[in-house]
Amino acid sequence: MSVAVHTWGDAAATPVLLWHGVGDDAAYFGPLAEVLAGEFGFRVVAPDAPGFGRSQAPPHRAALHPAALARFALRLLSELGVERCPFVGHSWGAGIGCHAAADAAQRVSALALLDGGYTELEDWGNPEAVARATESDWIAIGRERRVRDPMMWARAVRAALEPPTAASVYPVLRSSRVPVLLLTADHSSRSDAGRAAARGLGRFRHALPEADVRTLKGVGHDLPGDAGAVVGRVVGDFLARYRDSA
């Protein structure tokens, strides 16, 4: 399966892996990646996830589960000659990062989660209806949201709802002692997303009390797109603490 990989920075610099949210591609990280490379001296590696951007689609939906994509990401790093580096994931990519760090803590020097990896299906207002939604239902939602490829988006969303979820690996993450940053959006407490975020944050903080949890004021879920340079500096400051361990 062919995969397109975007890079920024000096090829000899300390690498960092970025994984985008569902429906996007690695180009979405442009401003954030430019800060990590230009201001912090990292070599940024960001693939288009399988089925998105210029990467080939996987043969079956199971390959789109975050746990399977975490294994794919680790294999990709090996192919690129990267043995150990930080993992930065946005939304869907954050859950993939949780699985990667739990599966191979010796290969993930730090984990930065950008408004993802902390909410579960049960946190939302009507989880039963979400669980019952068919692929056709999700394709229709994708079309309403004007995603680039509604079918691939729907398959990835459905796969992400299946166990094992990110929360299931929190105990492994905690025992691994991989440094974790969670940067959340500024969700309204009156919105469905805000209520789900509050429930998820409570569970996340309890499970990973040593994690660095921050909220980016005035910015919504699309952190890299809406405030890429700002997010890049927050993430860069965090990752710089662990550069020598990469």
3-state secondary structure 81-137: CCCCEEEEEECHHHHHHHHHHHHCHHHEEEEEEECCCCCCHHHCCCHHHHHHCCHHH
Options 3.20.20.10, 3.40.50.300, 2.40.10.120, 3.40.50.1820; CATH for 5-241 is 3.40.50.1820
Query: HSE of 69 in the Cβ direction (CA atoms, 13 Å)?
Result: 35
Looking at residue 45, its pLDDT comes to 98
**Quick check: 100 pLDDT over 60?**
yes
* Closest by CA position to 89, among listed 147, 163, 22, 138: 22
Could you state, in order of their start, the residue ranges of all structural domains in the chain? 5-241
Q: What is the largest CA-CA distance in the chain?
A: 49
Q: What is the pLDDT of residues 121-134, one digit of tens each?
A: 999 988 888 889 99
pLDDT above 60: residue 33? yes
Q: What is the mean pLDDT of residues 124-147?
A: 92
Look at residues 190, 235, 232 and name the one whose alpha carbon lies nearest to residue 30: 232
Q: Dihedrals φ, ψ of 34, to 5°?
A: -65, -35
Q: What is the mean pLDDT of the chain?
A: 95
User: Which pTM does this prediction carry?
Assistant: 0.96
In the prediction, which pLDDT does 244 show? 62
Q: Which of 65, 25, 3, 6 is nearest to 147 (CA)?
A: 25
State pLDDT tens for residues 220-235: 999 999 999 999 999 9
Write down the pLDDT at residue 200: 97
Query: Cα–Cα distance between 26 and 231 in angstroms, integer?
Result: 16
3-class DSSP assignment, residue 180: strand
